[in-house]
Amino acid sequence: MAKSNKPIVWGLFAVGGTVAAFCVPALILAHGLLVPLGVFGENALSYERVSAVIGFLPVKIVVLGVVILTLWHAAHRIRVTMHDFGIRKDDMVAMLCYGAAGLLTATALLGVMAV
Amino acid sequence: METIQTDVAIVGAGGAGLRAAIALAEADPGLSITLLSKVYPMRSHTCAAEGGAAGVIKPDDSLDQHFSDTVGGGDWLCDQDAVELFINEAPRELTRLEHWGCPWSRETDGSVAVRPFGGMKIKRTWFAADKSGFHILHTLFQTSLKYPAIKRLDEVFTTDLIVVDGKVQGCCAIEMRTGQMIQVQAKAVILCSGGGGRMFPFTTNGAIKTGDGMAMAYRAGVPLKDMEFVQYHPTGLPSTGILLTEGCRGEGGVLRNKDGYRYLQDYGMGPESPLGEPVLKTMELGPRDRLSQAFWHEQQKGNTIQTQWGDCVYLDLRHLGEAKINERLPFVRDLAKSYSGVDMVTDMVPIRPVVHYMMGGIHTDITAATPLPGLFAAGECACVSINGANRLGSNSLTELLVFGRRAAESAVAYIKDSGVSVDGAAANREATAVEARIRALFDRPEGDETTAGLRQEMFDTMEGGAGIYRDEASLTATTAKLAELRQRWQTLSVRDKSAVFNTDVMQVLELGAMLDLAETVASSALERKESRGSHQRLDHTERDDTRYLKHSMASYRGETAPPAIDYLDVTITKSQPGVRDYSGAKS
Amino acid sequence: MSRKPFVRPVPATTWYMRNGRYLRYMAREVSSLFIGLYMAGLAMGLMRLAQGPDAWNAYLTALSSPLALVFHVLAFAFATYHATTWFNATPKAMRIRWGDGYVPGPTVVRAHYALWGLVSLVILVLVGVI
Amino acid sequence: MSERTIELEILRYNPATDEAPWYQTYTVPCQEEWVVLDAINYVKDHLDSSLSYRWSCHMAVCGSCGMMINGEPMLSCKAFLRDFGRKIRVEPLSHFPIERDLVVVLDDFMEKLPRVKPYIVRDQEKPIEEGEYKQKPFELYEFKQYSMCINCMLCYAACPQYGLNSEFIGPAALALAHRYNKDSRDEGRDQREEITAAHDGIWECSFVGACSEVCPKAVDPAGAIQQMKLASTMDWYLERLGGVGARVKRSLSSRRTSK
Ligand SMILES: Cc1cc2nc3c(=O)[nH]c(=O)nc-3n(C[C@H](O)[C@H](O)[C@H](O)COP(=O)(O)OP(=O)(O)OC[C@H]3O[C@@H](n4cnc5c(N)ncnc54)[C@H](O)[C@@H]3O)c2cc1C
Ligand code: SF4
Ligand code: F3S
Ligand code: FES
């Protein structure tokens, strides 16, 4: 029997899971809840400030790292979860999940690089 | 009936059976090997052994010392040629097991560690924490998976040997999952079916230890040797008989009576050793028979504690401290906590002697051959005899390895030398007769007799009449009772008529085997009018070398008669019977 | 032949309803859906950022819609759950030698929680000041 | 001695007469310190000799008496009545075909186990005359935990992935493969990975963790599998790095293996 190819994605999944665990709860709290609710004031995440900060190369790298790794973590786990929900077309599910992750990666990459 | 043809059939896949199977596969890859077991190999009772296996490897130790510990421990009833051979081959076998991956505990430099054991003058017991037998069994089982020549028949209950023209030519068995009879036609058969401690109510033995193989050989005409020697282990949990390994005492545990007094010093095993510094071969590190007997005396004096499960004394390990207990004895700590609700780190554990091991068994010579051509035996079911009147703890795990291998080698030699071939037609006739006998069990009319009821009566009479101390009256009553029980067994019916996994029929057959064996125990004990090792008579309290420096041999005389008891000389090579001294004096 | 082993079927789509342990597992797995969606949103946001101030402001407005808020509350809960399950499991995969044994599991877990707290604080402060 | 009475509800199945399993309830007088197995033995001895189940050691080491007790896979010889109420439901282990009553068919595991080569594999055997392999306490510690498996199959009964796909090699067999991979005397990891790193090996495990929660011997198969995923991911990349990777791999493993 041939060895599985899962190691390629599993490495990303594992690293992404760790990054997600450390960063995502606080990110959601800050950017998804506290900022919209105005806790940080009217000018939080204003265009000027955000684009200035993201203009820095090291920041670009960190932000991209978090986003991309987390995306791959999620993509891989969603693939497994579909299986757990009884959807057994694994090849198709895998293509969709990793495809979406790839597209979003490209999106984030383009976005960040363009700033 | 299904017929299987094979070169060698092994009955039993415990330590001895697996070692034999591997040895066969290594001796000649062309041999066909059939390994039958009534349970999956890893369920065999070898897995319950905790303490360890003896073999000389350390520079401060010597083969001579292991020899004299073993022979003295056995109260000079051991065959000394067998002991010598055993001791010489032991280190090699244990090392081989190490090469196969057995997780022996280690010294800091990476070499194998050894621990002290009862009756041993020098530390020589190899151990894998307190699950030595478990690791030995799993190492052997997993290693056996390497050899495609070993064909296993798991959960196949062997009922009888097939004997044609005075030669063993296979065995008959019931496949549990179908209820079908199988005849395994073989040029040679090796019995590795373990002991029969289950004939007693309080025992460290698992449910499968019903002595089936011993009974099979006995019925086929092979004498059972030294059956009166039944070892009580001094430290069992009273509720269930679960064993707290001798390693507990090896690591420094002590026995105390209800007043907290270390009573062993009153029974020739003193002087009292300092707490936490066990002295080899004295006090708690005396041999098992002496310790169990000391318990009996304490009980007579009213020095035991009463528990809901009967009289007990204490095993005290508190001074070892939690760290050492967790490192060396984690399993027994857990056992005591779960089954007796006592944490040995903070409390003393109530314990009592429980039936543990049968020194006696199928008569074999030092090549593991029985008097019946084509039949070999090894492990607890056999009596070679290296254990004499009292086995030293940690000798039997090694015995499985040494004699499991020898049995295999002897079987190969037997096949090659005698050029045996199986008489298929005759074997088939034998097997058909066996099948008819088993079928008949199902047709017996359903009476009041139950397996559980008969078994309980057997327990009561064995415990009462053939226990730690015996006398003429108790043994006479026991043999009479057993004769009656054997009669009543003839009317016992199998209530469960179904084919698939019928444990009812299995229990009926097991009980039949145990009753046969129980009778050989009681009859041999009745005839041995002396006290030696684990056989202690209140009416004959001294050892009598002039009359009884002999093996007793119990031979089958039919379904209704008690066994015939004969005697066979003990082989003495270099150690004349002496005094068993456990007082700490220099020997 | 009298054998007839009985196979108890496992329902392929509802098996996890059988016990709490499986439900907790599924909750952990489903967290990925929320984390994934959140990240998708963030990736889009980064794109909007590149498209200029108007796009970015529209994005910020969308973030404060009730629907977005509800989603983020859920996502926050699942992400936190993911983090705890992840940290609690790390000692299983990652064993760090310590003398003749390994760093005890609880210590590894506690270290992760401490670091998590720190990282979270940094993120909150950073977002707060930006 | 304190006594109590329990209701034991046992799933019965006799292939000769039953189309499907059914529950039979027994009223059993028990001692307080009994385990569930004692109660079942009482039924066998006094109420119904046709009940079939496996047991032997009564000390949680032979691995034969695994059952579902109130829905949880447990060793019946280590399930204390004091931890249960008056009604106890006993069923054969989940995910295995029922042979009869509480006896399940174990062929699947027995066939899988040899495939992961659960024994020492070496390029060169060391002669017995040269004595034992040296193994430092830490080297023993590294695999000891995974050698404690009693093959009781509770983990298979708990693992939903095994329930969904019986091709999955499963927790215990994988943990045993890991046991030998981690043994300083062994050189067989590459051979084992042919099976363990294939589709139905470690990658079929989604780290539910149920196996480790029910394991009576603290083997932690879930941890073993995670470590194997990590190791085989490394191996996968190293194998694709060509000569450099091979060299790294060799130096990593020769540091381990006892000579
Ligand atoms: C609790 C305990 C602790 C012990 N501790 C130690 C120790 O520390 N050191 C030491 O040296 N010794 C110890 N002993 C003794 C030692 O473990 C046993 O004597 C030894 O394991 C017996 O091994 P065996 O291979 O002969 O039999 P077993 O391991 O009992 O195997 C018997 C085999 O025969 C098979 N069998 C039996 N009947 C049939 C049948 N009718 N048909 C088919 N198959 C059958 C069974 O299935 C099984 O596979 C201990 C014993 C006990 C009970
Ligand atoms: S890993 Fe644990 S639960 Fe699984 S078979 Fe082994 S001992 Fe039993
Ligand atoms: S429960 Fe099953 S999915 Fe993996 S972690 Fe254990 S094997
Ligand atoms: S009877 Fe042996 S594990 Fe329960």
Answer whether A25 sits within 8 Å of C60, measured CB to CB: no
Given this model, what pLDDT does residue B495 score? 94
Q: Are residues D111 and D74 in the same domain?
A: no
pLDDT given at position B587: 43
* pLDDT of D255: 52
The structure tokens listed for D80 are 């204390």
Residue-number span of the structural domain to which A61 is assigned: 10-114
* Domain end marker among D80, D104, D128: D104
Q: Which two tokens stand for residue D124?
A: 């060169």
Q: Is there a domain that residue A92 lies in?
A: yes
CATH code of A38's domain = 1.20.1300.10
Residues A19-27 have a mean pLDDT of 97
Name the domain boundary from D104, D121, D146: D104
Q: Is B53 in the pocket of ligand 1 (CB under 6 A)?
A: yes
At residue B567, the 3 state secondary structure works out as: strand
- The reply to whether B288 belongs to the active site is yes
Mean pLDDT across chain B? 95
Atom of ligand 4 nearest to the CA of D58: 1
**By three-state DSSP, how is residue B581 classified?**
coil
pLDDT at C1: 56
Q: List the single range of A60-64, B220-224, B414-418, D163-167 with lowest mean pLDDT.
A: B414-418
- Number of domains composing chain D: 2
Mean pLDDT of B296-323: 93
Structural domain harbouring D19: 5-104
Tell me the three state secondary structure of residue B485. Answer: helix
pTM above 0.80, yes or no: yes
What pLDDT is recorded for position C88?
96
Question: What pLDDT score does B585 carry?
Answer: 58
Mean pLDDT, residues B193-207 taken together: 96
Distance, in Å, from the CA atom of B103 to the CA atom of B127, rounded to the nearest integer, reads 9
Ligand 2 centroid from CA C89, angstroms: 19
- Is residue B13 part of an annotated ligand binding site? yes
Q: What is the DSSP letter of B247?
A: H
Digit-by-digit pLDDT tens for chain D (259 residues) are 478 999 999 999 999 999 999 999 999 999 888 999 999 999 999 999 999 999 999 999 999 999 999 999 999 999 999 999 999 999 999 999 999 999 999 999 999 999 999 999 999 999 999 999 999 999 999 999 999 999 999 999 999 999 999 999 999 999 999 999 999 999 999 999 999 999 899 999 999 999 999 999 999 999 999 999 999 999 888 888 877 877 777 777 655 555 4
Residues D91 and D126 in one domain: no
Question: Is the pLDDT reported for residue A110 higher than 90?
Answer: yes
Query: Within this chain, do residues D100 and D128 fall inside the same structural domain, yes or no?
Result: no
Q: What is the CB neighbour count within 10 angstroms for residue B357? A: 24
pLDDT of residue D253: 65
User: Dihedral of CA B119/B125/B131/B135: which sign?
Assistant: negative
Summarised one tens digit per residue, pLDDT across range B152-192 is 999 999 999 999 999 999 999 999 999 999 999 999 999 99
Closest chain C residue to D143 measured between Cα atoms? C101
Tokens representing residue D171 in the block: 């927790």
Q: Where are the domains of chain C?
A: 13-71
The answer on D93 and D65 residing in a single domain is yes
Domain count, chain A: 1
Residue A88, pLDDT score: 87
Distance linking the first and last C-alpha atoms of chain A = 48
Please state the rounded mean pLDDT for residues B471-490.
97
Give the distance from residue A95's alpha carbon to the nearest chain D alpha carbon, in angstroms.
17
Q: Which of B242-246, B381-385, B430-434, B487-491 has the lowest mean pLDDT?
A: B242-246
What is residue C121's predicted lDDT score, i.e. its pLDDT? 97
ipTM score of the complex? 0.95
Q: Of chain C residues 35-54, which have a CB less than 8 A from chain A?
A: 35-36, 38-40, 42-50, 52-53
Write out pLDDT tens, residues A58-91. 999 999 999 999 999 999 999 999 999 999 898 9
Q: Is B440 annotated as a binding residue?
A: no
Which of B36, B102, B397, B401 best tests ligand 1's pocket when mutated (most atoms within 8 Å of CB)?
B397
CB contact under 8 A, A4 and D198: yes
The enclosing domain of D155 has a CATH number of 1.10.1060.10
Mean per-residue pLDDT, B384-399 = 96
CATH fold of B2-229+359-427 reads FAD/NAD(P)-binding domain (3.50.50)
Please state which of the four CATH numbers 3.90.700.10, 3.40.605.10, 3.40.1190.20, 3.40.50.970 is assigned to the domain occupying B236-355: 3.90.700.10
Domain ranges of chain B: 2-229+359-427, 236-355, 442-560
- pLDDT category at A3 given cuts 50, 70, 90 is confident
Which subunits have 3 or more CB–CB pairs within 8 Å of chain B?
A: C, D
Q: Cα–chain-centroid distance for residue C100?
A: 34
Sequence letter at residue B58: K
Written out in words, the top-level CATH class of the domain with range B442-560 is mainly alpha
Average pLDDT over residues B487-494: 95
Mean pLDDT (whole number) for B498-506: 97
Does residue A1 register a pLDDT over 60? no
B378 C-beta neighbours (distance < 10 Å), count? 33
User: The CATH number of the domain where D67 resides is what?
Assistant: 3.10.20.30
Q: Give the 3-state secondary structure of residue D67.
A: strand
SS3 of B193-224: the string is CCCCHHHCCCECCCCCCCCHHHHHHHHCCCCE
Which of B19, B262, B288, B328 is an active site residue? B288
pLDDT given at position C20? 94
Query: Is there a cis peptide before residue B493, judged by omega within 30 degrees of 0?
Result: no
Does residue B246 or residue C79 have the better pLDDT? C79
D171-181 vs D189-196: helix crossing angle, rounded to 10: 160
Q: What is the spatial distance between Cα B96 and Cα B88, in angstroms, rounded to a whole number?
A: 14
Give the mean pLDDT of B441-445.
94
Whether residue D236 and residue A84 make contact (CB cut-off 8 A), yes or no, is: no
CATH code: domain C13-71 is 1.20.1300.10
What spacing in Å lies between the alpha carbon of D144 and ligand 3's midpoint? 20
Whole-angstrom distance, CA of residue C12 vs CA of residue B584: 69
Closest to C71 (Cα-Cα) out of C38, C42, C46, C48: C38
Contact check, Cβ <8 Å, C86/A77: no
**pLDDT for residue B586:** 47
Question: Could you tell me the distance, in angstroms and rounded to a whole number, from the CA of residue D144 to the centre of ligand 2?
Answer: 14
Residue B35 pairs in a beta bridge with B10, B152
